[in-house]
């Protein structure tokens, strides 16, 4: 394959991957606690260290684009909802929740009560208290202070677990704004972040910015397509014209 065409094809593949990332961000623009993905590129020359996926041409080594997808952990906007069980974290850290696969971590604080009175996420996963137990709420007046202490009708009934990890974070998304450590590192209790009752942290996706990036990526994809068509036309003309000689 012509090295120039290979460079254009690699650009097309990178653009398609970036469109997938942008589309997923936009789909979760209204998901509480969602952290957007970002994508960066690194140009590489194919060779012995970076072999191409197709046989190399006899000219210059084809150019590859190595993509790097990472999570942007910046805080989303915090809004007041007035809902007693809506909680937001003012600072770094995560809530710990119990899933069928083990403990996961989230900043999505739109909690509610299960049928048996446990504080759970929108997916029904129990919110962990300090020590790993559940937070059980049976009563009418629920108050949660800045340290996560839950009081029901004036009686303390548990403390919500707030944890954090060493930075830079090395976490993996598991869906529904949940994260798990990628390297099995142990979390530590977070004593500096405050809980805001009646508030909710929104997604950190900026819709306008993502739409601009989508337009730019579409234009880049189309430019790569034009380059591929140009090389294809040249190859076709060369084969036809040379055949007449």
What is the percent of the chain with per-residue pLDDT over 70, rounded to a whole number? 84
pLDDT digits (tens, 9 = 90+) for 61-81: 555 556 688 999 999 999 999
Across all residues in the chain, what is the average pLDDT? 86
Q: Are residues 133 and 100 in the same domain?
A: yes
Q: Are residues 17 and 55 in the same domain?
A: yes
pLDDT of 1 above 80: no
Expressed as residue numbers, the domain containing 156 is 78-201
DSSP symbols for 185-244: PPPEE-SS-EEEETEEE-----HHHHHHHHHHHHHHHHHHHHHHHHHHHHHHHHHHHHHH
- 119 and 217 in a single domain? The answer is no
Q: Detail the DSSP E strand segments found in 4-101.
A: 37-45, 63-71, 78-80, 87-90, 94-99
Residues 129 and 142 both lie in one domain: yes
pLDDT tens-digit map of 196-227 = 999 999 999 999 999 999 999 999 889 888 88
Q: Is the per-residue pLDDT at 141 higher than 50? A: yes
Tell me, yes or no, whether 94 and 157 share the same domain.
Answer: yes
Q: Give the chain's end-to-end CA distance (angstroms, integer).
A: 24
Band (90; pLDDT cuts 50, 70, 90):
very high
Residue 183: band (very low, low, confident or very high) from pLDDT cuts 50, 70, 90: confident
For the chain, the domain total comes to 2
Which of 14, 13, 17, 10 lies closest to 61, judged by CA? Answer: 10
The answer on 111 and 130 residing in a single domain is yes
Residues 127, 214 share a domain: no
Q: Domain check: are 48 and 140 in the same one?
A: no
Tell me: pLDDT of 135 over 60. Answer: yes
For residue 191, how far is the Cα from the chain centroid? 25
| Residue 121 shares a structural domain with residue 169 | yes
Same domain, 32 and 62: yes
Handedness of CA 126, 127, 131, 135 (dihedral sign): negative
Mean pLDDT of the 37-60 span: 58
Interval 148-168: pLDDT, tens:
999 999 999 899 999 999 988
Q: What's the CA gap between 127 and 160, in Å, rounded?
A: 7
> Is the CB of residue 109 less than 8 Å from the CB of residue 87?
yes
Supply the pTM of this predicted model: 0.81
Q: How far apart are CA 144 and CA 103, in angstroms?
A: 22
């Amino acid at each position: 394959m012509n090295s120039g065409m290979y460079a254009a094809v690699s650009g097309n593949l990178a653009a398609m991957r970036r469109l997938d990332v942008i589309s997923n961000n936009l789909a979760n623009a209204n998901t509480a606690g969602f952290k957007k993905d970002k994508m960066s590129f690194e140009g590489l020359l194919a060779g012995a260290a970076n072999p191409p996926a197709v046989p190399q041409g006899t000219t210059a080594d084809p150019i590859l684009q190595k993509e790097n997808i990472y999570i942007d952990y910046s805080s989303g906007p915090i809004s007041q909802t007035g809902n007693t069980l809506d909680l937001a974290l003012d600072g770094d850290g995560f809530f710990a929740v119990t899933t069928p696969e083990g403990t996961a971590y989230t900043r999505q604080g739109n909690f509610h009560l299960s049928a048996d009175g446990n504080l759970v996420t929108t997916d029904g996963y129990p919110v962990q208290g300090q020590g790993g137990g559940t937070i059980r709420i049976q009563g009418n007046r629920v108050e949660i202070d800045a340290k996560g202490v839950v009081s029901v009708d004036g009686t303390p009934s548990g403390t919500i677990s707030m944890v954090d990890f060493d930075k830079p974070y090395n976490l993996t998304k598991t869906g529904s704004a949940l994260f798990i450590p990628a390297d099995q590192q142990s979390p530590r209790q977070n004593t500096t972040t405050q809980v805001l009752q009646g508030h909710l942290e929104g997604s950190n996706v900026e819709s306008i910015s993502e739409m601009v990036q989508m337009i730019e990526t579409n234009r880049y994809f189309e430019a790569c397509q034009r380059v591929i068509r140009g090389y294809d036309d040249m190859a076709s003309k060369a084969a036809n014209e040379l055949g007449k000689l």
